[in-house]
Structure 1
């Protein structure tokens, strides 16, 4: 796959993107990312995923403007009539990924890069990381729906209309970033620390928890809680649910059996 590498170890899938100089997204990269994240649904080796880049000048500097020309003769009819589908599918595959996804962000996350990070379940960033939907400065429009989901309507309008960049500290104060790392050299280790903590949980419970939270996010309070109860009722039918409680009483680490 172009500019992408996937490594699996200890229940953690690390997806690394490297496309110098600014890690801009092409249609091929977006298609490949969709394939990767959708593929985790049927992969028992993967309990949690980490998305990282090799940051030359940016985390992900949006879509490659050299790749926005018209469709070529090999394009599918859907790609020819709906140019935005490949991007939507990439964002969907991350947001709806069967397992939690952690974004490790260093340097600038711009446009599609910011939207990509917003689709992840947790964002860990360096102090020098910056975030912005700058499309308005290029005569384009970006993913305001992603901003609203992250920041609420008023902060989102500020960033979307001005095209300004926000610091990691600002977004951490807004509750978007779970941890800001002082030394960029420590970013991967911190992301791995969080990933290992999740990888120790029941893989079935994590998958059901992710799906449950996605389904209830926009529901009214009582309706959302009712859906959550259904997921809990589903979880207790698995042996791993009983194993979690028994391990707690035995004061030992649980042994997950995927059943």
Structure 2
């Protein structure tokens, strides 16, 4: 369990998250994920990274129970830093990152896929930020990379989700496939990318990041400042205490 890296094909690194029951990650796994993605990108033999997950869903965000066990703010500070590093690692990875998303992709999962270069999704995938229901804020930066501005705001304020088919219609999901074929479809896209010249694909990634109109690391850290404010004011604890940590729902 945790984060692992394998090499399913030439030029491809597969980084897999496996944290049952719902891939809600504790602090150590956010940092482990960041380290794994950065290490894969630094490997001169790798030309594309595929980010995937085992289990029912891709990612359910942070481990709320870990935050609730901490009487102070140490866990919050640590998980915010861990999330920031994991999201940045995907964005700053030296080679393109393809996210293979099945089931729920919530909270921190949006931070990961919003910073990926391409997304292949299963037909059961749903994407959303239930942050307001869980005493948190953040990752609007990344949701705004997946859907238009007004839809992002409506999804954020309501904590609703969007389907893979809806994101495909907006152009942010490359392909929607049946769940059993998800990894194969993601690896197929990764293989097409990995067939390019290794030096050139790294230059292309750096060039595309360089013309991005939004500094995603700075934007997300700005959002996190409001998460701290919510915690210091006590409103975050009040909302979290009313959140029973049920398994993520796969419907809006």
User: For this structure pair, what is the TM-score category when the shorter chain's length is used for normalisation?
Assistant: 0.7 to 0.9
Unaligned 5+ runs, structure 2: 215-252
| 1:117 paired to 2:113 | yes
| 1:102 paired to 2:98 | yes
Match of 1:210 among 186, 205, 224: 205
Structure 1 residue 177: Cα displacement = 0.3
**Change over 3 Å in CA distance of 1:16–1:81 after alignment to 2:** closer
Q: What SS does the aligned partner of 1:6 have?
A: strand
Q: Report what 1:163 is aligned to.
A: 159
**Change over 3 Å in CA distance of 1:206–1:141 after alignment to 2:** same
Please list, as runs of the form range in 1=range in 2, the aligned pairs for 1:144-163 lying within 5 A after superposition.
Answer: 144-163=140-159
The question of whether the paired residues in 2 share the 8 Å contact of 1:61 and 1:113 is answered with yes
| 1:177 paired to 2:176 | no
Q: Report what 1:59 is aligned to.
A: 58
Structure 1 residue 30: Cα displacement = 0.6
**Change over 3 Å in CA distance of 1:133–1:81 after alignment to 2:** closer
Aligned residues: 211
The question of whether the paired residues in 1 share the 8 Å contact of 2:3 and 2:36 is answered with no
Name which structure has the greater RCO, CA cutoff 8 Å, separation 6+.
Answer: 2
How far apart are the structure 2 equivalents of 1:81 and 1:192?
35
Structure 1 residue 81: Cα displacement = 6.0
TM-score by length of 1: 0.76
**Change over 3 Å in CA distance of 1:81–1:195 after alignment to 2:** closer
Largest Rg, 1 or 2: 1
**Coordinate RMSD, CA, aligned:** 2.0
The question of whether the paired residues in 2 share the 8 Å contact of 1:111 and 1:143 is answered with yes
How far apart are the structure 2 equivalents of 1:170 and 1:212?
29
TM-score by length of 2: 0.78
Unaligned 5+ runs, structure 1: 220-259
> Which segment is superposed worse, 112-121 or 63-72?
63-72
Structure 1 residue 42: Cα displacement = 2.9
**Change over 3 Å in CA distance of 1:138–1:41 after alignment to 2:** closer
Structure 1 residue 124: Cα displacement = 0.4
Structure 1 residue 137: Cα displacement = 1.6
**Change over 3 Å in CA distance of 1:204–1:128 after alignment to 2:** same
